[in-house]
Amino acid sequence: MKEYYFEDRIYYRTNEFKPERLTLVFVHGVSGSSSAWLPYEKIFEEKYNIVTYDIRGHGMSKKYPNYSDYEVKKFVQDFHDLIIYLKISKFILLSSSFATLIAREYIKQYRETVTALIFTSVENYEDDAFILKIGRPILKILTSMISFLPFNPRPRGHVDYSKIKNSDWSIERNFADMRNTGLRAHLFTLRQSFIPGQEYSFEKINVPTLIMHGEKDSFVPIKNALAFSKKMKNSEFVSIPNFDHDIHHNAVKEMSKAIESFIEKNKNLLQ
């Protein structure tokens, strides 16, 4: 895998692209970075074309000063700009947590480029969920306050998740993420994830879809993920026992096996 910058604003990594191989594009969630996908790069880079990148305000990508800079549509535009720049006409889109919102909005606009969807720890909150009732007003106050603080445009780096205990409520992991991303980008992006969900005509998408969710997810109950999967016309659901929201960190073996099985099963549709 080699490192690059697109227009001095998006940090990304790719392996050597080969036209006969399928392309996998990985998108990470709030306060993380492309380093969350390092284990998957090592597993898949000899078999598939791979793209991982840092979403805006995260990792080594460009930071922005305003809350409006972190609207989901801005993340989608960055993503699409990168796909166009790399001249990728078809790909399998893999997303985790907040990135599942980016993926949903992306396929709504650019359905023709996506051959399959893989959602992990899908964000699918019910409007009356306790976490939203508490989170929305708190984040509104915090983001209003932080808007008046000095803006530091310096991009950060990448967290080595192999040296951290990863769990939903891990102070060590959350502190490392927030320190690396910065409070401004972290809170602005997190608030976007709590905005009431938009309506999507999932039944019209009709691409092979894999949804993986930890049975012990304390952020998004597994019943919410199951409800989401039922909206997808051509979906497969995999529940991962004994793991929480951080399955992409903690269940690499289980997730990579499910990804490989899903791709092999749908290979004729993905060419």
Give the per-residue pLDDT at 132.
66
DSSP 7: T
What pLDDT tens digit does each residue of the chain (271 aa) get? 999 999 999 999 999 999 999 999 999 999 889 999 999 999 999 999 999 999 999 999 999 999 999 999 999 999 999 999 999 999 999 999 999 999 999 998 998 999 999 999 998 876 656 666 677 778 888 888 888 889 989 899 999 988 887 777 888 888 888 888 999 999 999 998 887 666 666 767 789 999 999 999 988 999 999 999 988 888 999 999 999 999 999 999 999 999 999 999 998 878 7
| CA distance linking residue 59 with residue 31, whole number of Å | 8
Other beta carbons within 10 angstroms of residue 176's beta carbon come to 18
| CA distance linking residue 158 with residue 53, whole number of Å | 11
| CA distance linking residue 166 with residue 152, whole number of Å | 27
β-strand pairing of 91-96 with 2-6: unpaired
Give the per-residue pLDDT at 231.
86
Give the per-residue pLDDT at 200.
64
| CA distance linking residue 9 with residue 109, whole number of Å | 22
Give the per-residue pLDDT at 82.
98
Give the per-residue pLDDT at 163.
84
Give the per-residue pLDDT at 193.
84
φ, ψ for residue 204, nearest 5 deg: -85, -15
Give the per-residue pLDDT at 128.
56
Q: Which domains does the chain have, with CATH numbers?
A: 2-270 (3.40.50.1820)
The CA-based angle 71-61-15, given to 5 degrees, is 115
- Helix residue spans in the chain (DSSP H): 38-44, 72-85, 99-109, 130-146, 171-181, 183-193, 202-205, 222-231, 247-250, 252-265, 267-270
DSSP string, 142-201: HHHHHTTSPP---------GGGS---TT-HHHHHHHHHHH-HHHHHHHHHHHTSPPPP--
Contact in structure between 212 and 248 (CB atoms under 8 Å): no
